[in-house]
Amino acid sequence: MANVTVIGAQWGDEGKGKIVDWLASRADAVVRFQGGHNAGHTLVVGDKVYKLSLLPSGIVTGTLSIIGNGVVLDPWALKAEIEKLEGQGVTITPENFAIADNCPLILPLHRDLDGLRETAAGAGKIGTTGRGIGPAYEDKVGRRAIRVCDLAHLDHLEPQLDRLCAHHDALRAGFDQPPVDREELLADLREIAPFVLQFAQPVWKRLKKVRKAGAKILFEGAQGVLLDVDHGTYPFVTSSNTVSGTAAAGSGLGPGSTGFVLGIVKAYTTRVGSGPFPTELSDDVGQRLGERGHEFGTVTGRQRRCGWFDAVLVRQSCAISGVTGIALTKLDVLDGFDTVRICTGYRLHGKILDYFPSHAADQAAVEPIYEEMEGWRETTAGARSWADLPAQAIKYIQRVQELIETPVALVSTSPEREDTILVRDPFVDRG
């Protein structure tokens, strides 16, 4: 049986929560390998709705859920999320949940810095969630992070605090802010430490044992490839690598463990926050897509920008991440359109491009080249087989997979777990 790595192949918000939940019910372990609590998943199971930001989606089904070392962890956000889920009847114990002990922490000073920078940036805002993700990753690579394992050794934290505060106090002074209150920070860490440490362990060992036993592992990515710090629309990106290759480094398992790479792709395109968006629609069609798709961010509540499907961007994402097959979501949002459009290329200063350029000025200047297709009046909502889909909807799906040069593995037709058309089973199909 193959393991499965799930990534978003657009700018995030592709409907990963529903797909990961569907796969998690068939997996033996689910691993988050990058990002933080800036990535929201909404799961609909029966009559219950679960909103997750940090916990792996498998936690709702009782599947072993692991936060890997590639994640940056806000311990207070974790505690609040666990308490909320427990209030909904979800059981979370060290038996079904583990945190990598070498996972870096997001601290209040990171949230402070995130907000101060965005406020001061003016027109140069990146559009972060303000949750301290970027500053926490900066401290990780700057070798001054406080990690989960440090919570068990707070009496010996002074040298690390010296390095951390030397950096942050200088930045805070530039924003006319007082130095970090070290005593308050230590007191906060002492209070939260017992809660976090009950779940802390070298998760690479646990995953090695799980894999050796032949269990199915699901690697759960956050955000999308177009937000990758290297391959995304820089600088309007997140602070981690969101591509499938990160699953190995961010979990402690080797690259041969990641298995079938499933790219989640929305049947149209959305984006939250600032940055280029070639197919964005500021007209009634864009408004209609947003209203029908309920396009508001799970974490921030911000309205998402909407546009037609961009095959150039998705083809690029699939190539960069080695996507084996895609899961096409929210097909039902396109129901009722007389015509639907797909971006098949760009014009840039008179030249035709079949890829998205790297420079921000070029990204902002490209003009989409569209192919028009006849729409469908019938509903696709709730379809569970090809026979349930209108002929034109099937043609649309077939054209999408031709243009992105990647086959469709799943089609999702509603937020409900069972409203899914399975074309290729990621857990048994090795591509």
pLDDT at site 126: 64
Closest by alpha carbon to 110, among 128, 141, 131? Answer: 131
* Burial of 7 (C-beta count, 10 Å sphere; 0-12/13-18/19+): buried
pLDDT at site 315: 98
pLDDT at site 118: 83
E strands within 126-216?
Answer: 200-201
Tokens linked to 83: 């308490």
| Residues recognised as catalytic | 13, 41
State the sign of the Cα–Cα–Cα–Cα dihedral 202, 206, 208, 211. negative
Give me the half-sphere count of Cα atoms (radius 13 Å) on the Cβ side of residue 393: 27
pLDDT at site 256: 87
Beta carbons of 1 and 427 less than 8 angstroms apart: yes
- The three-class DSSP label of residue 185 is helix
Provide the whole-model pTM.
0.91
* Cβ-based neighbour number of residue 185 at 10 Å: 18
DSSP state of 207: H
DSSP H helix total and E strand total for the chain: 12, 18
> Phi/psi of residue 351, each to 5°?
-100, 150
pLDDT at site 207: 94
Beta carbons of 423 and 401 less than 8 angstroms apart: no
Tokens linked to 221: 């990515």
Dist CA 96 CA 90 (whole Å): 11
* Burial of 86 (C-beta count, 10 Å sphere; 0-12/13-18/19+): exposed
Dist CA 71 CA 102 (whole Å): 10
The DSSP H or E segment spanning 9 is none
Q: Can you give the pLDDT of all 431 residues of the chain as single tens digits?
A: 589 999 999 998 898 878 888 888 889 999 999 999 877 777 777 788 888 889 998 898 889 999 999 999 999 999 999 999 999 999 999 999 999 999 999 999 999 999 898 888 766 666 677 789 999 999 999 999 999 999 999 999 999 999 999 999 999 999 999 999 999 999 999 999 999 999 999 999 999 999 999 899 999 998 999 999 999 999 999 999 999 999 999 999 988 888 999 999 999 999 988 899 999 999 999 999 999 988 876 555 678 899 999 999 999 999 999 999 999 999 999 999 999 999 999 999 999 999 999 999 999 999 999 999 999 999 999 999 999 999 999 999 999 999 999 999 999 988 887 888 999 889 886 55
What b/e sequence results for 370-388 when a residue is b if at least 16 CB atoms lie within 10 Å of its CB, and e otherwise? eeebebbeeebeebbeeeb
